[in-house]
Structure formats: structure tokens, C-alpha cells
Amino acid sequence: MIAFINVALLTLLAVVTVAIVRQRSLFAAVILSGIYSFLMASVLIVLDAVDVAMTEASVGAGISTVVLLATLHLIKTTESRSVRPRILPMFVVLGTGAFLVWGTLVMPPYGTADNIIHKHVVPRYINDTIKETGVPNIVTSVLADYRGYDTLGETTVIFTAGIGVMLLLGGRRRRTKSGQDGRSP
Amino acid sequence: MSVLETVLGHYDYVITMFLMMAGLYIVVASGNMVKKLIGLSIFQTSVYLLYIEPGKITGGTAPIVDPAFSVYSNPLPHVLILTAIVVGVATLALGLALVARINEAYGTIEEDEIFDRDRES
Amino acid sequence: MKLDLILRIGTKLILPFILLFALYVQFHGDFGPGGGFQAGVITAAMVILLAITFGIDAAQRIAPPWLVSRMVPVGVLIYAGTGVLGLLLGKNFLDYSVLLHDPVHGRELGIFMVEAGVLITVSGTMTSLFYAFAERGR
């Protein structure tokens, strides 16, 4: 039953993606990408990744949609044009896609329990999280404790990206004002 | 029967690759920079699926330890992707900030027009 | 901006619950789905909803830009500081087991502090992102 829900959601995801590809109105594409994120969150719940689904629903459908809409407001255009020939990109994409699908044929099928990735460090995380950290949510304990270095790096990346956006977009009003006062170029 | 099983077992991967290639197609074929960034984020979400899918175990449950359950899906990909999502939106915002600045400098976000403007000057 | 009565009243009603939910996600993250990343984004979503409905000035009264932009580095410093604390107490960087007498409780405290750092950085970054875009547009 769950496998069929999964198949249905994934098909919807593909349909929404085709709609985004064909869409020329940027506003509609942004809203469709919000729908895409909610569908992706549903797929992630079916795949048992509840923490990731929560993040995707709040980040993908919430913050990114808001930021994209704010950009559309800034650039004051809502239509995109396509003037390029599309045959070469389509050819490249189909070729690459065929190779990638061929590559996934050796991957273990959906839901396999003796998959190689379940064997290495994961049993230790699952068995020892309560004993070692006292936190039942394994995702939290791995995120903050066992793999704390990763998360420190990711937090620093977020910090850097935030500083970058503030440098790119902030501080302009002051400069315009001083430019108007002193007429400096 | 085995063909159907193979198709159903790998349907996730096929859709993942389809999403990935759709994102790549938008990035390559679309000249509009906002559209390119939307395509890039579709590509990114397909990578999330690629990581999470092998972690699912049929009959397993979400990785929160409880005496009522014994089989849990693999929590490690969840951790990696959870942080990647938040980093993804931060970098998307950085890209959009660049697009806004390009629009202020060139008055357009269509790639071809920007190249034309560069060639003229 | 005058005819959106339902939006304004609805926003006022829902805002405290969004913040409450963010805090629930933050502090219940050890036992259920959630954690610093999600809680930070939900907190930022509350400020963004306020800014969209009542204008950016109303949002900047409750979350002033100087505070929000300082939250971005402070969270990273809390995270790294927790790691350095482990270093100072004689263990490895980011080893929390020495923070309290009982190693398990120490690691629980370490996870709590790290998640608090993540919450502060993520909510600060997301809110300042939105402020940067919104102020550019007016």
C-alpha cells in the first residue's frame, strides 16, 4: 500500500516538474516549485524521513518561495523567454539521463533491508543512541553529536551565505544618500 | 512478474533521474536566470531523493527509538540531507541576490541580452 | 492594505502559535521530529508572515535588524564554543561527554547547546535574508 502511495506521489512530482519546465511565466513557475516542495515533503514522509520532510516543507515551500517571490518583486519581470535552440540541450540531457538510469539498475530495489548502506556505522547509531547520548531521535543525536563536525560546517556555510546576501543587497540606501549629497560617482 | 518487480523496485530511481535531468535541462536550455535557479533547486531536490531512497526499509519506521519498534530506516542519509536542505536555501538566496544585482546593472535577467550588452560595450 | 481584515486578524491570532510551535519543535527535537534547523526556519517564517501582512516596519519593531544580523555569527560562536569547551575540559573538539559529571547527561547538554546555536544562526540568517530582499525593493 505504502509503495503504491509512493509511486503515485512520485508520478505527481514528475508531472509538476514537466509543468515547471514548460512554464514561461516566472510567477507560475515559483508557485509550482512550492507545490513541488510539498509533494517532495510527502514523498519523504513515505520514505520515513520525517525530519527531512519537516525541513523540506518549511524551507522548500516556505522560505525559498518567499525569497523567489521577493526577487521577482525586485526585478519587476514575470515572463521568461526562450530563444535558444532546444535540440542540443535535449539531446545532452536524454543521453546523460539514459546513462544515469542504466547506472541505477545495479542499485538495490526499493526497501531492501540487507542493503550495504545499512551495515556500516548505522547499527551502532541505532543501538547505542539512548545508551550514549540519552536522545531517542537518532537523527538529532547523529546530527549534533556523532557528526557534529558536519553540522558545524553546514552552520558556517549558512552564516557565510547570509553574510554574502547582506553584502550584496544591504547597505545601498546609505551609499545612494551619500552619492546624492556629494555627487560622487 | 520479475520484470514488474524490477520496474516497481527501481521506479524511485527512474523518477529521481528524471527530476535530475529536468533540472539540468532547465539550467542548460533556459536563458532566464531565475528559471535557471529554479532548475538548479529541482536538481538539488532530486539529489535529496537519491540519498533518502536507499535508506528506506520496507516495514521499517522513522528513526526515533521506541520500545514498540525494532526496524528503523537508515538515519544517516536523513542527517546529511537535512543540513543540505537548509544550506540549499541559503545558497539559493545568494544566487537570487546576485540575480537582483545583475538586473540592477544590466536591466535584464535574460542571459542572451546580457551577453549582447557585454559585446556592445 | 485596507480590505485585508481577515488576513490581519488571522495573522494576529496565528503568530503566537507559530512561535510556540517553533519552540516545541526546538525543545522536543530530542524525542520527535525536529531540531534547530526546522525551528529556526519556522521562527523566521513568523517574522516574514508579520512583515508580509503588516509591513516590514512592524516586523522590524519586534525583530530589529541589528539584533537579527548579530544572531547570525552568535549562533556559530555558540556551536564552536561548545566544541572548544570540550577541548578545554580535556577531551576532543565537540566531545560533549565532559560537560557534566555524567557523560550521558553531558552529551545531552551538548546536543541542547549545539541545537540552540543552530536555531540562532538559522533564524537570524533567514530573517536577514528576507530583510535584505524586502529593503532593496522599497
CB nearest to B20's CB, from A3, A10, A100: A100
C38 contacts on A by Cβ (under 8 Å): 51, 54-55, 58
For residue C122, what is its C-alpha cell?
538559522
Pick among 3.40.630.30, 1.10.580.10, 1.10.287.3510, 2.40.50.320: CATH of B2-120:
1.10.287.3510
Quote the radius of gyration of chain C (alpha carbons, Å): 18
Looking at the domain assignment, is residue A2 inside a domain?
A: yes
Q: What pLDDT is attached to residue A174?
A: 46
Residue (of A49, A43, A64) closest to A143 by Cα position? A49
CA dihedral of C73, C74, C80, C83, whole degrees rounded to 10? -170
Decide if C104 contacts A132 (C-beta within 8 A). Answer: yes
pLDDT at position A53 over 90: yes
> In whole numbers, what is the pLDDT of chain A averaged over residues?
84
pLDDT at position C100 over 90: no
How does A22-52 read in b/e, with b if 16+ C-beta sit within 10 Å? ebeebeebbbbbbbbbebbbbbbbbbbbbbb
**Mean pLDDT, residues A62-89 taken together:** 82
Looking at the domain assignment, is residue A69 inside a domain?
A: yes
CB nearest to C37's CB, from B82, B97, B100: B82
Confidence of residue A82 (pLDDT cuts 50, 70, 90): low
Q: Which of A1-5, A99-103, A169-173, B99-103 has the lowest mean pLDDT?
A: A169-173
pLDDT at position C66 over 70: yes
**Mean pLDDT, residues A120-131 taken together:** 86
Q: Best interface-test mutation with B: which of A11, A47, A76, A88 has the largest number of B CBs within 10 A?
A: A47
CA distance A92 to chain C (A): 35
Q: What pLDDT is attached to residue A158?
A: 93
Strand partners, B110: B32
- The interface predicted TM-score (ipTM) is 0.91
Strand partners, C106: none
Strand partners, A79: A25
Q: What pLDDT is attached to residue C4?
A: 82
Our count of domains for chain A comes to 1
> In whole numbers, what is the pLDDT of chain C averaged over residues?
89
For residue C72, what is its C-alpha cell?
547570525
Q: What pLDDT is attached to residue C22?
A: 94
CB contact under 8 A, C83 and A133: no
Q: Best interface-test mutation with B: which of C31, C129, C131 has the largest number of B CBs within 10 A?
A: C129
Q: What pLDDT is attached to residue A106?
A: 84
Decide if A49 contacts B55 (C-beta within 8 A). Answer: yes
Q: What 3 state SS string does A26-53 have?
A: HHHHHHHHHHHHHHHHHHHHHCCCHHHH
Q: What 3 state SS string does chain A have?
A: CHHHHHHHHHHHHHHHHHHHHHCCEHHHHHHHHHHHHHHHHHHHHHCCCHHHHHHHHHHHHHHHHHHHHHHHHHHCCCECCCCCCCHHHHHHHHHHHHHHHHHHCCCCCCCCCCCHHHCCCHHHHHHHHHHHHCCCEHHHHHHHHHCHHHHHHHHHHHHHHHHHHHHHHCCHHHHHHHHHHHCCC
Residues found in chain A: 185
CA distance A97 to A112: 24
CB contact under 8 A, C122 and B86: yes
CB contact under 8 A, C41 and A145: no
Domain assignments of chain B as residue spans, ordered by start:
2-120
Q: Which subunits have 3 or more CB–CB pairs within 8 Å of chain A?
A: B, C
Looking at the domain assignment, is residue A6 inside a domain?
A: yes
**What sign does the CA torsion over B67, B72, B76, B79 have?**
negative
Decide if A126 contacts B63 (C-beta within 8 A). Answer: yes
**Secondary structure (3-state) at B50:** helix
Helices (H), chain B: 2-29, 33-52, 75-106, 111-120
Decide if C86 contacts C96 (C-beta within 8 A). Answer: yes
pLDDT in tens, C43-59: 999 999 999 888 889 99
A59 contacts on C by Cβ (under 8 Å): 41
CA distance A39 to A46: 11
Strand partners, A137: B64
Our count of domains for chain C comes to 1
Of chain C, the percentage scoring pLDDT greater than 70 comes to 98
A90 vs B: CB within 8 A: yes
A150 vs B: CB within 8 A: yes
**pLDDT tens track, chain B, 121 positions:** 577 777 778 888 999 999 999 999 999 888 889 999 999 999 999 999 999 988 888 888 888 888 888 888 889 999 999 989 988 999 999 999 999 999 988 888 888 888 888 898 7
Residue C58: domain span: 5-137
CB contact under 8 A, C118 and A155: yes
pLDDT at position A1 over 80: no
Higher pLDDT, A133 or A37: A37
CA distance A121 to chain B (A): 9
For residue A184, what is its C-alpha cell?
560622487
pLDDT at position A184 over 50: no
**What sign does the CA torsion over A22, C52, C118, C72 have?**
positive
Q: Best interface-test mutation with C: which of A64, A169, A175, A177 has the largest number of C CBs within 10 A?
A: A169
